[in-house]
Amino acid sequence: MSPAKSDAILTRMMALHPKIIDLTLERVWRLLAAVGHPERDLPPVVHVAGTNGKGSTVAMIRAGLEGAGARCHVYTSP
């Protein structure tokens, strides 16, 4: 491969991915606005993640919420 061709390929590849990473949520907010903010219609959610103890943590949270009179739904996935 000629140096000119490899330079052209490298230039194209560098243009595909910007060097500056946008860590803001601005794009997410624009997307949510464009689709009518469906997240506003969701009920409150508790998301439990991690390696160990998710089942017992969810059981304890659910028991506390139901004890306080709240309706709770649990979805677990392996």
- pLDDT value, residue 14: 82
For tokens 């739904």, the residue is 73
- pLDDT value, residue 61: 96
What would the two tokens of residue 41 be?
A: 């219609």
Per-residue pLDDT tens for 40-73? 999 889 999 998 999 999 999 999 999 999 999 9
Predicted TM-score (pTM) of this structure? 0.53
Helix (H) or strand (E) holding 32: helix 26-34
Q: Contact at 8 Å (CB) between 10 and 1?
A: no
Per domain, the residue ranges of the chain are 3-67
